[in-house]
Every structure is written in structure tokens, then in C-alpha cells.
Amino acid sequence: MRLTFNSNTDPKIDSSDWTNWTWQLKNSLSTLQDFEKCLTLTEDERRFFDKKSPFQVRVTPYYMQLATTPAIRKILLPSQMEYQAFTQEMPDPLAETKNNPVSRIVHRYPDRALFLITDMCSVYCRFCTRKYFTGQEQSFIKSNEYEAALSYIKSKPQIREVILSGGDPLTISDQLLLKTLKDLRAIEHVEIIRIGSRMPVVCPMRITRELALGLREYAPVFFMTHFNHPKELTAEAGAALGLLVDHGIPVFNQSVLLNGVNNHPAIMQALSRRLLYLRVKPYYMFQCDPSMGSDHLRTSVEESLAIQRELWGRLSGLAMPNLSLDIPGGGGKVALVPEFETSHFGNKRTYCGFDGISGEYVNPCPTLHALPDDIADYAEEFELIKKKSL
């Protein structure tokens, strides 16, 4: 391995370039020749480039530096295994195209919608769930699709939350991103805006003070990032996360359990604790979706539950991510929780905790059940949000 691709070790790279996010994107590695300039590839990795893959390879120079860690290497470098189907592989595992009322909108849940504003990413993760869409090299949504998407959101008052995704929304300029936020904020019933981005992981220099100030202007904006391994939490990444939080932007992390990358409780514990220390809430720990070419990276549900059980009680609730699985075919997210109930008889239930201590919980008498007096004040809005009516 011969990684010298940074401003500290390579005199050809100016530090002002290295810390510029547009330079990072323009100089991303995408060909066999690019990778061989800074890395000794295995025969398996080299053979991938001999075939025409339906899914691109792209890595920022910054993230390429982390390839000295074998786990990170599996995330960013392609493998011959991607051409082998084992148990289950689907082009669109979450059936997003079935919940696609207009171009660039995915409306699966009644009260929230996904707005795909770009199909570009700065790094194409080998386990990507949206391979049917990403990598078409359309940096920003076409104007007619943009207007149609906004019109759809305006027409659905039950949509209270919009998630900007793609691709990676932070591959577009501040100007375009903030215009999108402004247009969404002009829709009265949109209360919450989320931005899903891996840029703090793969290109942390993208998070600037100017961007953080711009996001704060359209609060509440929630930032969803995607760290999968403690080695991704570099000093640069920590500084980027700090900028967001210091400007009042809550940050949540969504990780994916990956075979040979992070499928061990010690790794997930270290990742979660470090994230929490950086004021980032570990939010989801996902079962890897069965997207094309990702079968070799998926863990079994049993293994994932075993990892969750090991963390339970040994990791602060603040640091505990929700283990979840997206039902293939568009069924939505379901929580995977270790079974702690040991018996259930009548109104009595017995539970055994993570450290073996058991206890009995007795349900209250059904005759004590009473509805809140002010339920009518909230029922109408609740019923509205329940209706998706595509």
C-alpha cells in the first residue's frame, strides 16, 4: 500500500486545494489508473475494472486516505463479489419506484416525503440501496421536475416533513441547496426539513461556516449523516460535525451493519460513544438492504440482533441506535429488538434484563382505562396525517 495522496505528504497538492470541497470532488478517483497511482490493488479489485459495471466507482482523495483501514477499503473499493448473486438481490429493494407519484418524490409514509434533488454522490458506497437511481451524473434536478415536486408537496397538507436526499444533496452548491430550503419553507404545512448526507464522512471540508449559517436560517433543519466505522471519525470529520451542532443544527447518524466492516459489538460501541461525544445522536443501525451486488456485505438478522443485545444495557440509551430493517418491496421500516420477555400469563409479564436480573410486571386493571379529556383538540390533525392518498 502506498498512499501519499494528501497535502502533507505530496508536494504537488496545495493545502488550499486539499481543504476545498470542490477540488475534492473534481479530483475524485474513478478509474483503474486513478487507484493504481496511490494504492496497490488486489487481483480481485483489479478484475472489477475489466468488466462493465452498472454501478460506478468514485472516491474523494480525502476518503481514499482512510483505505489503510481494511474495513473502510471494503466500503469504497469494488470487488468481483459484486457480480455474484447469492441469496437475494433487488434493483430497488425499498420499492421506491412504486411510491413515486411524481419524478424525484418518494412518498411512502403519510407525513413525510423524500425529495431526490440530485443523483450524484462524492463516494459511491458499494452497499448503496439506490443503485437504480444514483450515478447518472445529473448534478441538480431539472427545473420542470423541481417544480412538479414542489407542487406535489404543496398539494399534500399531510406532508409535515421533507427529507432531501439523492445522491448526496451536499454535492450541489450552497446557492442551489439554500434555494431549495427557502422554497420548502414557503410551504406552510412543511414543519421539518431533513438533509441526508455522507459529506461529513467522505468530504468534511464541505461543511463550512457559511453553509452552517445558511442552514440555520431555515431552521428547524435536521442533518442526517452516515458514519459506519470509528476510523471515519477523523479530526476533520469531528470539526465538521462541531460546526453544524454549534450553529444549532441537530445531527443524527444512520449506520449500516456490514459484513467484515463493523459487524461486532465492540466496533459499534466505539462508534456510538464517539458520535455521542461529538454531540451526534446515533439514530439507526440498519440491516443492510439487499441491493444489487451487496449480498457479500450483508449480515444475518440473527447476527445483528446478537450485536444489539450485547450493546443493550452496556451502552447509554443516548448512544444506543435503533436496529431496524427496511422490508423489501416497500413495506417500510421495522424495529428489531432482542427478546427480553420470558413469560406472559394473564395480566402478568416476566422480563429478564441484559445482565440476567428478572422481574414481573403486572398490567393495571382495565377498568382504570380513560381517554384524555382534550383528545378532540388533536384528533383531526392525527387523522389527516394518517391519510397518504397518493
Catalytic residues: 108-109, 112, 121, 125, 128, 130, 289, 326, 333
Does residue 265 lie within any of the structural domains? yes
Same domain, 248 and 220: yes
CA-closest candidate to residue 27, choices 7, 8, 44, 50: 7
What single-letter amino acid sits at 102?
V
pLDDT for 202: 97
Give the Cβ contact number of residue 382 at 10 Å: 9
Does residue 185 lie within any of the structural domains? yes
Confidence of residue 136 (pLDDT cuts 50, 70, 90): low
Q: Where do we find the cell 457480480?
A: 83
1-24 average pLDDT score: 75
pLDDT for 1: 46
Alpha-carbon torsion (334, 286, 273, 171), positive or negative: negative
Does residue 360 lie within any of the structural domains? no
Cα 212 to Cα 247: distance, rounded to the nearest angstrom: 6
Does residue 10 lie within any of the structural domains? no
| pLDDT per residue as tens digits for the range 21-30 | 999 999 999 9
| pLDDT per residue as tens digits for the range 31-60 | 999 999 888 888 888 888 877 666 788 999
Q: Where do we find the cell 471519525?
A: 233
| pLDDT per residue as tens digits for the range 216-229 | 999 999 999 999 99
DSSP string, 47-68: HHTTS--SS---B-HHHHGGGG
Whole domain around residue 68: which residue ranges? 15-83
Average pLDDT, the chain: 91
DSSP string, 266-316: HHHHHHHHHHHHTT-EEEEEEEPP-BTT-GGGPPPHHHHHHHHHHHBTTB-
SS3 348: strand
Q: In whole angstroms, what separates CA 191 from the centre of its chain?
A: 21
Task: Report in angstroms the alpha-carbon separations of 185 from 144, 154, 296.
Answer: 19, 11, 42
Confidence of residue 81 (pLDDT cuts 50, 70, 90): confident
Same domain, 308 and 259: yes
Same domain, 207 and 312: yes
What single-letter amino acid sits at 36?
E
The number of distinct structural domains making up the chain is 2
CA-closest candidate to residue 38, choices 57, 66, 74, 71: 66
CATH number at residue 133: 3.20.20.70
